[in-house]
Amino acid sequence: MQDEKIQLSTNKYAAVAPAEVRQLIREGTITGQTSGMCEGYAQANLISLPKKYTYDFLLFAMRNPKACPILEVLEAGEVLIREVANGADIRRDIPKYRVFENGVLTGEYTDVKKYWRDDLVSFLIGCSFSFEEELLKAGIPVRHIEMGCNVPMYLTNINCKKAGIFSGSMVVSMRPIPYELVTKAVLVTGEMPKVHGAPVHIGDPKAIGIEDINKPDFGDSVEIRDGEIPVFWPCGVTPQAVVMNSKPDFCITHSPGHMFITDVKNVRLKY
């Protein structure tokens, strides 16, 4: 079993426990993207909004569950996570955060304690990094893990369902999959709807508004080899695109690819 774990990912933190990795993040030792870390454990996106926007965003997430599957919600001002990682600090345990004001990105930080407000309500949203171990176990390659980089993410022309002040388009993540393994990839990820589930598009990127697949809006470009087809999954960066479109006066998020690593086993997020 240990040999299998080594084969799944070459990330130096693949076999390290989530609590240990979060401590290294809090200390500033880890500041990079988290794909391939803590194999077997789910990762999560973050969006923290003033309480006045809570109902609108919760409704937005309910109307767009593939892009925004909620794993936990913290009450206004609450900073310690209860359910998915007991006692973790939402302000310090993510490698890189983003702060938005009126929909404009004003900075990226490794710690947001000084920007924290008592009226912030935090939403932890499922992340597609969580199903990558299942893809690898099924013999399906995950190119950005092979390359040691971030997953490519793109703005699309797929409209989300509006709720209150929140509206905008879906962001997707892309993984090139060998043609003969596409059906298996759909089935494997479809079993995990709490971390985005099955793809929303397979094939021609222009069909969903992506003009150049080699120029992602977030993350890094990856190699697409002969015999492979780009497969696109809903992405938890969607709320950031929606924030830029809807312009709430203040917001804190994770930086794309720099996720919160939970204590929840991926197998618990299957049907």
Measured between its terminal Cα atoms, the distance across the chain in Å is: 24
Average pLDDT score, the chain: 94
Over residues 225-244, the mean pLDDT reads: 97
Percent of all residues in the chain with a pLDDT value above 90, rounded to a whole number: 92
pLDDT of residue 10: 74
Which of the four pLDDT bands, split at 50, 70 and 90, describes residue 271?
low
Q: At residue 245, does pLDDT exceed 50?
A: yes
H-type helices in 34-95, by residue range?
54-63
Over residues 257-263, the mean pLDDT reads: 97
Which of the four pLDDT bands, split at 50, 70 and 90, describes residue 8?
low
Q: With the C-alpha atoms ordered 157, 241, 211, 135, is the resulting torsion angle positive or negative?
A: negative
Tens-digit pLDDT profile for residues 151-190: 999 999 999 999 999 999 999 999 999 999 999 999 999 9
| Residue 139, amino acid | G
Q: Which of 194, 228, 222 is nearest to 44 (CA)?
A: 194
pLDDT of residue 270: 82
Which of the four pLDDT bands, split at 50, 70 and 90, describes residue 6?
very low
pLDDT of residue 269: 85
H-type helices in 205-246, by residue range?
238-246
Give the tokens for residue 71: 């794993």
Cα→Cα distances 253→49, 96, 169, Å: 9, 9, 17
Over residues 97-123, the mean pLDDT reads: 97
Residue ranges per structural domain of the chain: 2-128+242-269, 141-239
Over residues 257-262, the mean pLDDT reads: 97
Which of the four pLDDT bands, split at 50, 70 and 90, describes residue 4?
very low
The single residue listed with the structure tokens 């690819």 is 257
At the topology level, CATH places domain 141-239 in PSTPO5379-like fold (3.30.2040)
At the topology level, CATH places domain 2-128+242-269 in PSTPO5379-like (3.40.1640)
Cβ atoms of 84 and 72 within 8 Å: the answer is: yes
pLDDT of residue 5: 41
